[in-house]
Chain A
Amino acid sequence: MTFAQAMFLAALQGVSELFPISSLGHTVLIPALLHWKIARESPQFLSFVVALHLGTALALVVFYRTTWKGIITAFVRSVVRGRFDGTSDEKTAWLLIAGTIPVALLGVYFESTVRSLFASPLPVSLFLVANGAIMFLGERLRRAQHAGRGKGYRVLEEISWLDGALIGLSQGLALLPGISRSGTSIVAGLLADLDHESAARFSFLLATPVILAASVVEVPLLFTPSGSAILTEALAGGALSGIVAYASVAFLTKYFESNDLRPFGWYCLVVGAVCAVLFATKVIA
């Protein structure tokens, strides 16, 4: 992997981790489309990926620093007192825990198996099409479901623990490369009758502990001989990924104030379908 390729992948990771278009899917498809020979299972590449995820997670922490400060303070206060006081930050903290447990269990037990089975271009292309379909279906179901209620959308503090757990569980679908973690969790949030802005915010908050924990655990990889061999790319890539992720989350939080998932759905349907044809017909080997 050249330095330029590394920086391209870092920028791609920063965008696609938070946009509902599947980061893993894109890091499989784009090198395949460009005929890049990248050994995805090599220790060097894994070290590089750890740095990219760390950059993304830190960008999320920095972007939501005030929110996280409130959430952590409310959580600690709640534990020290041994009771729920029902504040907004406290409810968010416990919703995040309810949502993180299922995806952590799924990730720890099934991630490597599922990814090794499906992380090749053709299945990824098909899953990307499915990701687009999930977003269209989610928007449609949500409109139909909300139409009969005759009141405004719920805010995050109004959803139940079960809703929080189900939104977290929905991220499990993103173990399949091509299915977006933020896409499925935003759709699940919409189906819990959240508005787009709240669903996206909860999705990004939910992503932070998962990405951060997964990357922090792997940080020692950076200090192994294979990690040292790629340290420059890893540091520069992590920084670039973080900057791009920060810009992405800033854009998306603004975007979801008045827009929905359909443009991303179209993108996934079109790109996934084109890639599926290219790989299935062996136009691109």
Chain B
Amino acid sequence: MKILAIVLAVAFFTVAVLYWVGLFGGVHVKHGILFAGLGVLALIWLRFQSAAPTRAR
């Protein structure tokens, strides 16, 4: 699952950059921010998998 999180993070950040540079029919700032946010969430998911697997509940 760590691999999936990394792949998703890279994919989301790539799409964000492509939106910002205008490769999808013009510059789309909001679309880029959305995908950058998803990229950050994918990194957080990776962080959760990398940390100790103990849970309070």
Contacts and interface: CB of A to CB of B under 8 A. Distances in A.
The answer on A and B forming one complex is: yes
Interface of A: 79, 81-86, 97, 101, 104-105, 108-109, 213-214, 217
A108 B56 contact: no
B51 A108 contact: no
B19 to A, nearest CB: 10
A84 B56 contact: yes
Given A97-B41, A217-B29, A82 B47 contact: yes
Contact of B47 (A79, A104, A213): A79
B34 A104 contact: yes
Band of interface residues on B: 20 to 34
A101 B45 CA distance: 15
Contacts of B52: 82-83
A83 B38 contact: no
**Looking at A79, A81, A82, which has the most chain B CB atoms within 10 Å of its CB?**
A82
Nearest to B53: A83
27 contacts: A79-B44, A81-B51, A82-B47, A82-B48, A82-B49, A82-B51, A82-B52, A83-B48, A83-B52, A83-B54, A83-B55, A83-B56, A84-B56, A84-B57, A85-B56, A85-B57, A86-B57, A97-B41, A101-B38, A104-B37, A105-B34, A108-B30, A108-B31, A109-B31, A214-B30, A217-B29, A217-B33
A213 to B, nearest CB: 7
Contacts of B30: 108, 214, 217
Contacts of A84: 55-57
Contacts of A213: 33
Interface in B6-54: 29-31, 33-34, 37-38, 41, 44, 47-54
Contacts of A83: 48, 51-56
A21 to B, nearest CB: 26
A250 B55 CA distance: 37
Contacts of B29: 217
Contacts of A108: 30-31, 34
Nearest to B43: A79
Given A97-B41, A101-B38, A104-B37, A82 B50 contact: yes
A218 B14 CA distance: 23
A97 B34 CA distance: 12
Contacts of B34: 104-105, 108
Given A81-B51, A86-B55, A214-B30, 7 more contacts: A82-B47, A82-B49, A83-B53, A83-B54, A83-B55, A84-B57, A105-B34
